Amino acid sequence: MKKSILLLLICFFFTAINAQQKEITSSLYESYKAYKEPSLNKRRIKHEDLQPLLRHYKTISGFVVTKVGESIAGRDLSLVSVGSGETRVFLWSQMHGDEPTATQAIFDILKFFESPDFKEEKEAILKNLTIHFLPMLNPDGAALFQRRNLLGIDINRDALRLQSPEGKTLKRVRDSLKANFGFNLHDQSTYYNAERTDKPATISYLAPAYNYEKDINEVRANAMKVIVFMNKIIQKYASGQVGRYNDDFEPRAFGDNIQKWGTSTILIESGGYNKDVEKQEIRKLNYVSILSAIYSIATKNYKNIEVSEYEKIPENDRKLFDLKVEGAKYILNNKSYKIDIGINRLEVDMENYSDFWYSSRIMDQGDLSTFYGYNTFNAEGYTIKAGNVYPRTMQNITQVETLDFIDLLRKGYTYVRLNNIPKKWLSSPYPIHIIGGKFRVTELLLQPGINPTFILEKNGQNKYAVINGFLIDIEKGEGTFKNAMIFR
């Protein structure tokens, strides 16, 4: 009888905790705007963008900001700590300089802890946990928006040799904290999808292996349980858009070694989300899921989760294109073929690495029936045609601006010739390519690697244009577009 009452009380306790967890997750999502750090409003953030925020938290009671190292170029590496609990949680981000999504989310989380809201939940977190944030581990890479540091190495493959000052700092901080939980925060390619689906892997997880046998001890099992918990949260807001990384052991990687050193390590990769180029929705998902996971660690309700649920998360795959044109008719040497075309829009850095323009490429063609697109266009009944050069040469920008570009596309023109193209122009702001006075457009021969520019014709009428990988409905004059190319 006593045992039955005890079991009933335990069930009631965990049911109450789970209900409270769902409530905080929904509240975090719905109230996010109040905590989004407004000064970090673009993806390509720099070390200098973080300094006013770090100086601010030095003045706020309850926060401790400590310089823990320097990058190769002498940029400070800072640790922000909050809470007084026995369980230690360590989060580090932007080990790769061009992976900034979680860095932004960290400052959203700090703003949450600074606020007077969620008093009961924050009290539960801060009395049970001490949380340490190391944002932007690779500030030199961030300055150049590149993966590697100034030594030209991948810091995430320096856990054994420890040649980079950034890697040495990460190891030293982890060891000094003896963290119970670690969140290893990254971005992944937007072209990953959840296995066997057309949905992007918006968030991907991994509980890294600590040996070649991929054994599961208590440390790794706890990481798996937290990941299962986070997956359930993401499914609520991005259903089907979660992937799981392959867990082959990599002896040089920090995640694998930190797991081996006794910290339950959760790798989080921020991927793609439709129409979210700046990854602001993914930033929000990071904020909600990480804070909810921190609350779960504080309340220890993750312990009730079955490890077997981890393997049910679909694996990452890489079969997404920005644009997939499927089933189009392509005429080559007077013969007709059916062809699919997979197109990606590749970012080209501007001089200060704070912005970019697109130079798109055909990545693959042929039978792409096992691939997917953020935008998939069914081109059955459409014929691919080469675009032409508008016969009148423009002498200046003013003349170009007077053109009706959609009308030109309807007539099959995809290029406009301009004498004296301004040197500062890196790309065409118009939905048509700008070419120099002597540039010669070659015959259209579809193949991987070329810029995707062509007309889609149906029943003798030009219906759509693909310009630098952007699909434009030329009947309606509609389509998402950023830039075309300049060919001097």
Task: Give 370-388 pLDDT, tens digit per residue.
Answer: 999 999 999 999 999 999 9
> What are the pLDDT digits (tens) for 153-193?
999 999 999 999 999 999 999 999 999 999 999 999 999 99
- Which pLDDT tens digit goes with each residue over 68-112? 999 999 999 999 999 999 999 999 999 999 999 999 999 999 999
The amino acid that residue 407 corresponds to is D
Residue ending a domain, among 271, 300, 317, is 317
Non-local (6+) Cβ contacts of 128 within 8 A are 83, 85, 86, 87, 298, 299
Rg of the chain's alpha carbons, rounded to an integer? 26
Query: Does one domain contain both 408 and 299?
Result: no
Residue 313 in tokens: 């998360």
Does residue 211 share a domain with residue 231?
yes
Residues 221 and 97 in one domain: yes
- Whether residue 11 has pLDDT greater than 50: no
Residue 226: predicted pLDDT: 98
Q: Which residues contact 477 (CB under 8 A, 6 or more apart)?
A: 406
20: pLDDT confidence band, cut at 50, 70 and 90?
Answer: low
β partners of residue 250: none
In the chain, % helix, strand, coil (3-state, to 5) comes to 30, 30, 40
- What's the confidence (pLDDT) of residue 456? 98
Residue 316 has pLDDT above 60, yes or no: yes
Domain identity same for 394 and 267: no
**33-58 in b/e burial notation, b at 16+ Cβ within 10 A?**
eebbbeebeebbbbbebbeebbebbe
- Residue 285 domain boundaries: 2-317
In this structure, are 300 and 338 located in the same domain? no
| Mean pLDDT, residues 239-250 taken together | 97
* pLDDT over 90 at 141, yes or no: yes
DSSP 106: H
Cα separation, 265 vs 260, whole angstroms:
9
- The confidence score (pLDDT) of residue 6 equals 41
State the chain's mean pLDDT as an integer: 95
Task: Give the CATH number, domain containing residue 76.
Answer: 3.40.630.10
- Together in a domain, 311 and 361: no
235 and 324 fall within a common domain: no
Secondary structure (3-state) at 461: strand
pLDDT the model gives residue 24:
86
Which of 293, 317, 341 is the C-terminal boundary of a domain?
A: 317
Tens digits of residue pLDDT in 120-135: 999 999 999 999 999 9
Q: 264 Cβ partners below 8 Å, 6+ apart?
A: 180, 181, 182, 207, 219, 220, 222, 223, 226
Element of type H or E holding 20 = helix 2-30
Q: Mean per-residue pLDDT for 1-10?
A: 44
Same domain, 289 and 359: no
Average pLDDT of 357-368?
Answer: 98
Residue 438, judged by CB atoms within 10 A of its CB (0-12, 13-18, 19+), counts as exposed
474 CB-near residues (< 8 Å, 6+ apart): 406, 409, 410, 462, 463, 464, 465
Closest CA to 223 of 211, 210, 213, 235: 210
Same domain assignment for residues 366 and 446: yes
pLDDT at 9: 38
Q: Looking up tokens 């990953």, which residue turns up? A: 192
Are 123 and 136 part of one and the same domain? yes
Q: Which helix (H) or strand (E) holds 365?
A: strand 356-366
Q: What is the pLDDT of residue 21?
A: 64
At which residue do the structure tokens 């490890």 appear? 307
SS3 state at 186: strand
- pLDDT at residue 17, as a whole number: 43
How far is the C-alpha of 288 from the C-alpha of 28, rounded, in Å? 6
Distance of CA 52 to the CA centre of its chain: 25
Rounded CA separation 416/437 (Å)? 10
In this structure, what DSSP letter does residue 308 have?
Answer: G
Q: Among residues 317, 349, 369, which one ends one of the domains?
A: 317
Mean pLDDT of 15-38: 80
pTM for the whole structure: 0.93
Is the pLDDT score of 7 beyond 90? no
Rounded to 5 degrees, what are φ and ψ at 464?
-135, 155
Residue 247 has pLDDT above 60, yes or no: yes
Q: How many other C-beta atoms can be found within 10 angstroms of the C-beta atom of residue 207?
A: 27
pLDDT for residue 13: 38
Q: How far apart are CA 208 and CA 260, in angstroms?
A: 9
Same domain, 271 and 330: no
| pLDDT given for residue 404 in this prediction | 97
pLDDT of residue 19: 53
**pLDDT at site 18:** 54
Number of structural domains found in the chain: 2
Kindly state the average pLDDT of the residues 220-249. 97
Within 31-100, residue ranges assigned H as helices are: 47-58
Q: Is the pLDDT of residue 144 over 80?
A: yes
Q: What is the mean pLDDT of residues 42-66?
A: 97
Burial status of residue 71 (CB atoms within 10 A of its CB: 0-12, 13-18, 19 or more) = buried
Query: DSSP string of 317-357?
Result: E--EEEEEEEEEEEEETTEEEEEEEEEEEEEEE-TTSS-EE
Provide the pLDDT for residue 10. Answer: 39
Residues 293, 366 within the same domain: no
Whole-number pLDDT of residue 22: 64
